[in-house]
Amino acid sequence: MIPFLDLKAINEQYQTELKEACSRVIDSGWYIMGKELASFEEEFAEYCGSKHSIGVANGLDALILTLRAWIELGKIKEGDEVIVPANTYIASILAISANRLTPVLVEPDPETFNLTADGIAKSITAKTKVILPVHLYGQISPMKEIMQLAKKHSLLVLEDCAQAHGAMIDGKKAGSWGDVGAFSFYPGKNLGALGDAGAITTDSDELYRVISALRNYGSHEKYKNDFKGVNSRLDEIQAAMLRVKLIHLESVTVRRQEIAKRYRDEIKNPFIKLPYVDTEAGHVWHLFVVCSEEREELQNWLAEYDVQTLIHYPIPPHKQQAYSDWNKQSKPITEMIHRQILSLPLDPTMSESNIDTVIELVNNFKM
């Protein structure tokens, strides 16, 4: 069997270091908001090229707490509009709804699957306050153009970097372009914890102060509450796991890029469209997503040969029951993407012979 992603094999590579780090936390007797978290925040901020990083419980909370902080700071208010790609993972949109802000679903570029500055510009109204670009599948959005547009219209920018740790434009990483970057360290993400975890990156001292409090009951000082906060802390064990895995992230990214390069160079089949790549450094290949009008057939064909594939994602947000008000809306590009996409196995621990097998099978589909 060729698994889609073998998490056990991925973490086994670092098991000595992970177990040592785990023992270090157990022996310390300090399990929440301690040295591991402080060190991880410093190391992750440096990795991203941001002044601050704040660990939180998961990626969804990283998005929710950023928008919440802007509300607390009086920069945005209930009912304001947030521009978000219509084809994103539901979490980006849930974070907007959770703050009683209004998601404005914008169709992505059909090649990159990301927002474009033009698409955003057409959707800006008097109520627009935030742009929330999502670097989907690991490819960074056109941040230079988006930041220019944001500046022109005085809009805030929150980058959803949950799939794009380390993706760059001109050497500047995802999460350091916008006002804030929101990251998930869900185990299957490019930088994955061994449980739930997330973080925010920002250069703003003010946001750093507010979000640090919001994640911990709205408190900077024990038993003194400045905000009606939540409990969304990143615990010491997960911070310690992430510190180990951050050391290896660069080599994992290089390996992902190598596998993607092989797929891109060697998959040749008129029934399959390969992913569009803007620049090599701009894509960290969280997922390798091909398109086919015969998607179901392709998935079944690969399954017959024990190759696991997944669909990211089968139902677009505007067709979800949770957003039944939107169910009648038509988003042709988004719907076409959801009908045609299929994610091939892309695992940094994948063997060359398994890569060969996937390529050969995909090339033999209907041929």
Ligand X SMILES: *Cc1c(COP(=O)(O)O)cnc(C)c1O
Binds ligand X (CB under 6 A): choice among 101, 105, 134, 244: 134
The answer to whether 59 contacts ligand X (rule: CB under 6 A) is yes
Site stretch for ligand X (CB under 6 A), options 65-73, 85-93, 232-240, 331-339: 85-93
| Residue-wise DSSP of 178-221 | SSEEEEE--TTSSS--SS--EEEEES-HHHHHHHHHHTBTTEEE
Closest CA to 116 of 127, 107, 124: 107
Helix (H) / strand (E) containing 44:
helix 35-48
Q: How far apart are CA 203 and CA 37, in angstroms?
A: 18
Site stretch for ligand X (CB under 6 A), options 4-12, 14-22, 58-66, 224-232: 58-66
Binds ligand X (CB under 6 A): choice among 50, 53, 66, 92: 92
Q: Which is nearer to ligand X, 65 or 213 (CB)?
A: 65
Q: Which is nearer to ligand X, 33 or 94 (CB)?
A: 94
Binds ligand X (CB under 6 A): choice among 41, 72, 80, 160: 160
The answer to whether 58 contacts ligand X (rule: CB under 6 A) is yes
| Alpha-carbon torsion (287, 290, 295, 298), positive or negative | negative
Closest CA to 290 of 350, 337, 349, 360: 337
Q: How far apart are CA 318 and CA 102, in angstroms?
A: 13
The footprint of ligand X on this chain (CB under 6 A) covers a number of residues equal to 15
Q: Which is nearer to ligand X, 196 or 235 (CB)?
A: 196
Q: Which is nearer to ligand X, 162 or 358 (CB)?
A: 162
Across 295-321, b (16+ Cβ under 10 Å) vs e yields beebbebbeeeebbbbbbbeebbbbee
Site stretch for ligand X (CB under 6 A), options 15-23, 121-129, 159-167, 327-335: 159-167
Site stretch for ligand X (CB under 6 A), options 31-39, 86-94, 238-246, 335-343: 86-94
Site for ligand X in 167-186 (CB under 6 A): 184, 186
The answer to whether 114 contacts ligand X (rule: CB under 6 A) is no
Q: Which is nearer to ligand X, 92 or 116 (CB)?
A: 92
Across 17-53, b (16+ Cβ under 10 Å) vs e yields bbeebbeebeeeeeeebbebbeebbebbbebbbbebb
Site stretch for ligand X (CB under 6 A), options 34-42, 57-65, 69-77, 339-347: 57-65
Q: Residue of minimal CB distance from ligand X? A: 59
3-state DSSP assignment of residue 331: coil
- Report whether 203 contacts 181 (CB < 8 A): no
Binds ligand X (CB under 6 A): choice among 5, 25, 48, 91: 91
Site for ligand X in 178-237 (CB under 6 A): 184, 186, 196, 198
Q: What is the closest distance, in whole angstroms, from the C-beta atom of residue 317 to ligand X in the complex?
A: 11
The answer to whether 340 contacts ligand X (rule: CB under 6 A) is no
The answer to whether 103 contacts ligand X (rule: CB under 6 A) is no
| Alpha-carbon torsion (43, 47, 50, 55), positive or negative | negative
Site stretch for ligand X (CB under 6 A), options 25-33, 83-91, 104-112, 231-239: 83-91
Kindly tell me the burial class for residue 336, based on how many C-beta atoms sit within 10 Å of its own C-beta (0-12, 13-18, 19 or more).
Answer: middle
Which residues form the interface with ligand X (CB under 6 A)?
Answer: 58-60, 88-89, 91-92, 134, 160, 162-163, 184, 186, 196, 198
